[in-house]
Amino acid sequence: LPNLPNLPNLPNLPNLPIFTPQQIARLSSNIAEVKPHLSKAEIYEMRKKHVPEACILFYDPSPLQIVRAKGQYMYDEQGNEYLDCINNVCHVGHCHPDVVKAGQRQMAILNTNSRYLSELNATYAQRLAGTFPAPLDTVIFMNSGSEATELALELCRVWNDALDFICVDSGYHGHTRSAITVSNYKYGHPRGIGQPQHIQQMDLPDTYRGEYREQDKAGQQYGDQANQLVENIHKRGARVAGFIGESALSCGGQIILPPGYLQTVFKAVRGAGGLCIADEVQVGFGRCGTGMWVFETQGVIPDIVTIGKPMGNGHPMSAVITTAAIAAKYTANRPEYFNTYGGNPVSMAVGMAVLDVIQKEGLVQHAKRTGDKFLVELEQLEKKHMCIGDVRGMGLFLGIEFVLDRESRDPDENTAVLIKKEMLRNKIIVSTEGRYNNIIKIKPPMKFDQNNVEHFIAHFDKAIAKVVAMQ
């Protein structure tokens, strides 16, 4: 072997403690014992040195340092408890013991790639497919929503031997190159790549701020635009590969699709030979309280569904769900699909445990009950505070839009951001979203209960009043 260069001296690292099971149990019940080895300032400076600014932090330049979480609560390095209102990844609750135990147990037995026959892989695929309507019966596993989008788009390209897609304004489907090309949230950014030539973009179907505002007509009106976009693709001498859209738009501002929207879009796209993708990465697994999948509220069955974030409750998992016919055409026209970690035994055990918890704890029904109460309480605040222009959502997927004036509906980013900061001072974590960053979004862990709703509303009411009085 060639001579290797001398390695630089490494800094002295702290001696990491080795805990007994009894000590671990105490740590789980006493947050004050969980202490980082470096000061918050040291960690922040270390991160600034080695991690680019493109990887943002919440509340920068005074970010939270979270060291532990449980259920719907997160804890900082000083032991302060925060109510988490935005973490839709830890779906069944942070560090749910059943999910943690399933992962630990399987990790101690076997973890390898999916090219070996695995009962866990097969049974989880069957169980997951069973939550979808026919003919969606074929499952392909990967690790992130971006990867799921990549494969979903490729399935469409193969199906119709086409490259052109239709997407939705403010939609977000991932950070890989192909995913960015169908994500206006990314390509439309001031530093984005711009709308690619092979992409047609539909207007955001927003019944509060958009062109069409009558609920009983807006779905058809917004959806009809797909016919013109199909025609635009044909004028380019191209074919339609497919349509991709979120079943409810999160980055777009917690937008609930008006009735009939997807039916109209799907008809236009399928009429041109394309496939229809429903992105359920942010809203799936019962978050909206209407069932497991939000596309069902639109009375449609997609050709392809992408799922991710909540699938592993924080463990990196995603999947594409499609039909046997679409999968077969891909198999006949492309090399094998292999994903090193997708479908590994530990992920399958974790995913199975998440489904168990959703069923055992009745979390879909819980999301409906809690969300209904939340929406009613928010609507009362809307009547009280003129700066709230709109309250919307389903289940535990809600948005509060702030405006300068209800008549003009001019967005008020400043008030939304100040309220977000005021809520943090009260140990409640929320975030802002939407094209104008004027919408406070709520999509907490599904353990979020009615006591949490009352706690949130009391502080939200005071925060709004305080911020308005300051202006």
User: What's the pLDDT tens digit per position in 297-353?
Assistant: 999 999 999 999 999 999 999 999 999 999 999 999 999 999 999 999 999 999 999
**Hey, which residues does 431 pair with through a beta bridge?**
441
Q: What is the CA radius of gyration of the chain?
A: 23
C-alpha dist (Å) from residue 217 to 17, 101, 262, 264, 393: 63, 49, 13, 12, 19
Q: Judge whether 433 and 439 are in contact, CB under 8 Å.
A: yes
One-character DSSP codes across 405-432: -TTT--B-HHHHHHHHHHHHHTTEE-EE
**Would the pLDDT of 6 be above 80?**
no
Structure confidence at residue 22 (pLDDT):
53
- Please answer whether residues 199 and 164 qualify as being in contact, where contact means their C-beta atoms are separated by less than 8 angstroms: yes
pLDDT over 70 at 16, yes or no: no
Res 366 pLDDT > 80:
yes
Is residue 263 a contact partner of residue 223, using CB atoms and an 8 Å limit? yes
pLDDT over threshold 70, residue 17? no
- Of the chain, the percentage scoring pLDDT greater than 90 comes to 92
CB 28 within 8 A of CB 68: no
Average pLDDT over residues 219-240: 98
Q: From CA 227, how far away is CA 213, in angstroms rounded?
A: 20
Mean pLDDT of the chain: 93
pLDDT band at 296 (very low <50, low <70, confident <90, very high): very high
Q: Is the pLDDT of residue 4 over 50?
A: no
Q: Give the model's pLDDT for residue 34.
A: 61
Cα separations in angstroms, 36 against 10, 22, 68, 76, 77: 20, 20, 11, 10, 7
State the Cα–Cα distance between residues 271 and 88, nearest whole angstrom.
35
CB atoms within 10 A of CB 70: 19
- Cβ contact 293:131 at 8 Å: yes
Assess whether pLDDT exceeds 70 at residue 9. Answer: no
The pairs formed by 337-341 with CB atoms below 8 angstroms and a separation of 24 or more are: 337/140, 337/151, 338/113, 338/114, 338/115, 339/114, 339/141, 339/142, 339/143, 339/147, 340/113, 341/113, 341/143, 341/316
